């Protein structure tokens, strides 16, 4: 569903390695990366994911794109699902073997979570996606970021993340911190959401200071994807 789509603008504010701070504008709404999308978030957020009968819908400004429709391929399969492009938002599923559709502004990897425990494949996939997308496209990978690896993922070239891992860990009484996970005795969801957003802001500051590699090195031994 689309309402009042207008030509967007992407400004790169700062760079550090492959990490970058960007402002993405459409009409009078904008986000600054690194950005963490709320799952089941408030409808007034520029980017958010709502749940409709258990299926995810991504809202980018005034464009709504289903994430769990069509051919739900697995990253480990040999089956290729065609990308879905709507108002500049391109949703793909891994494995992605095609070319980036013309007009893509935001590339969304709907099943990125399948690579969370395969660091080598995750790195090669991100590099391949960035090469295909170029630097005029935001890359959003869902289901892979937590507080310990967000800086590293940004360093590799991901611009937009979501808080689904933070929520999943929190529901299971696990506190997710930049230094690693801690088993607790109560729901840690809200704390985890707060922490991953703080880490996103810190990553942005290190990029602006040209010191992203320094932050990544600090997180290296706590991240499951390092």
pLDDT tens, residue by residue, 154-177: 999 999 999 999 999 999 999 999
Kindly tell me if the per-residue pLDDT of 7 is higher than 70.
no
pLDDT score, position 3:
47
Kindly tell me if the per-residue pLDDT of 30 is higher than 80.
yes
19-26 vs 63-66, strand pairing mode: unpaired
What is the maximum alpha-carbon separation in the chain? Answer: 49
Q: What is the mean pLDDT of residues 28-50?
A: 93
pLDDT score, position 224:
57
Kindly tell me if the per-residue pLDDT of 211 is higher than 80.
yes
For 109-135, the pLDDT digits (tens) are 999 999 999 999 999 999 999 999 999
DSSP 2: B
Q: What is the mean pLDDT of residues 89-112?
A: 95
Kindly tell me if the per-residue pLDDT of 221 is higher than 70.
no
Mean pLDDT of the chain: 92
Kindly tell me if the per-residue pLDDT of 24 is higher than 60.
yes
**Structural domains of the chain ordered from first start:** 9-219 (3.20.20.105)
pLDDT score, position 58:
97
Q: What is the mean pLDDT of residues 26-42?
A: 93
208: which strand partners? none
pLDDT score, position 56:
96
Structure tokens that stand for 114 in this block: 């399948």
Tell me if the pTM is above 0.85: yes
Asked if 65 contacts 48 with a C-beta cutoff of 8 angstroms, the reply is no
């Amino acid at each position: 569903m689309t309402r009042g789509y207008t030509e967007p603008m992407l400004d790169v504010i700062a760079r550090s390695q492959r990490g970058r701070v960007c402002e993405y504008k459409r009409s009078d709404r904008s986000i600054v990366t690194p950005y963490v999308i709320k799952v089941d978030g408030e409808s007034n957020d520029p980017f958010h994911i709502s749940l409709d009968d258990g299926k995810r819908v991504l809202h980018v400004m005034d464009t709504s794109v289903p994430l769990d429709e069509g051919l739900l391929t697995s990253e480990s399969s040999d089956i290729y699902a065609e990308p879905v492009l709507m108002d500049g938002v391109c949703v793909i599923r891994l494995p992605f073997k095609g070319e980036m559709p013309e007009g893509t502004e935001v590339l969304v990897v709907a099943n990125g979570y399948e690579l969370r425990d395969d660091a080598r494949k995750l790195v090669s996939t991100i590099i391949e996606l960035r090469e295909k997308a170029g630097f005029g496209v935001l890359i959003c990978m869902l289901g892979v970021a937590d507080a310990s690896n967000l800086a590293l993922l940004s360093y590799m070239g991901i611009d937009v993340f979501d808080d689904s891992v933070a929520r999943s860990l929190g529901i299971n009484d696990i506190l997710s911190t930049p230094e690693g996970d801690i088993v607790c005795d109560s729901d840690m969801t809200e704390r985890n959401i707060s922490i991953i957003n703080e880490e996103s802001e810190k990553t942005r500051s290190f990029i602006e200071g040209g010191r992203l590699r320094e932050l990544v090195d600090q997180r290296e031994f706590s991240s499951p994807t390092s």
